[in-house]
Amino acid sequence: MKIVVFTGAGVSAESGLGTFRDADGLWEKYRVEDVCTHEAWLRNPELCVEFYNARRRDTLAAQPNAAHFAIKKLQENFPDTEIITQNIDDLHERAGSHNITHLHGEITKLRSNIDETDTVPCMGDQHYGDRHPDGSLLRPYIVFFGEGVPYFPRACQIASTADILIVVGTSLNVYPAASLLEYAPDTAKIYVVDPGKPEFGHFRYRVEHIQKKASEGVPELVDMLCKS
Ligand code: APR
């Protein structure tokens, strides 16, 4: 049984990391166009670096929650389970999960300004002006709005192999990530764990919506799958 888990900011909400579009979300406090677009990076790189330094500090101070650990347990019971995440935090990794594809980058890395996949580790504040070994200015390893999503083709290939697709904590507002559901086989069972109402579109009649917080709904779902 091939299980694919697709996560968004909601899986890390109970670890204290903000989501983007909830009432108290990050995009209520910051303008996307100031800190998370390609133009913002060109116009005001120091502000972008400062924004992601703050998010890195929050991430490093956070701990995985019961949902992250339940997903790790799922991988122990179904070893070829793959995780595709929109999140830049490392909480899946710190919960002990593996086979993780980050679609929108990773806060614990910086990247070359020339090669979008050439990264170096960063576990503290970035100092704007530091350079990558290739000589280019280092930048946050984040996919800004308006930039390509280099691992999206791989994510589509992974989704196309799913017998079960588990979607946790994403509003399904951002493309191309949200279109991953289209790549799951018609025969795949789709579970969604989210206390809110994601944009299901034509999937609304197909998904089994567990309308609970991740730390409650994911362990319940994993226990059911492990017993089945
Ligand atoms: N448990 C599960 N889901 C939750 C919880 C929780 N405790 N709290 C909130 N949610 C759900 C919300 O109901 C919503 O559906 O998490 C989702 C968060 O949606 P967004 O804030 O839009 O986050 P996400 O879907 O991950 O955003 C996608 O947008 O800004 C970009 O690159 C950024 O990766 C991000 C992308």
* Ligand 1 atom at minimal distance to the Cα of residue 193: 2
Instruction: Say yes or no: CB of residue 214 within 6 Å of ligand 1.
Output: yes
Residue 27: pLDDT band with limits 50, 70, 90? confident
Whole-prediction pTM: 0.97
Non-local (6+) Cβ contacts of 228 within 8 A are none
- pLDDT of res. 29: 83
Backbone CA torsion sign across 162, 104, 123, 54: negative
Instruction: Say yes or no: CB of residue 53 within 6 Å of ligand 1.
Output: no
Helix (H) or strand (E) holding 140, with range, is strand 139-142
Give tens-digit pLDDT for 98-152: 999 999 999 999 999 999 999 999 999 999 999 999 999 999 999 999 999 999 9
Catalytic residue among 104, 127, 202, 209: 104
- pLDDT of res. 26: 85
Non-local (6+) Cβ contacts of 153 within 8 A are none
What would the mean pLDDT of 6-18 be, rounded to a whole number?
97
Question: Is 68 among the catalytic positions?
Answer: no
Non-local (6+) Cβ contacts of 65 within 8 A are 11, 12, 14, 15, 91, 214, 215
- Mean pLDDT, rounded, of the chain: 96
* Ligand 1 atom at minimal distance to the Cα of residue 196: 13
Give tens-digit pLDDT for 39-88: 999 999 999 999 999 999 999 999 999 999 999 999 999 999 999 999 99
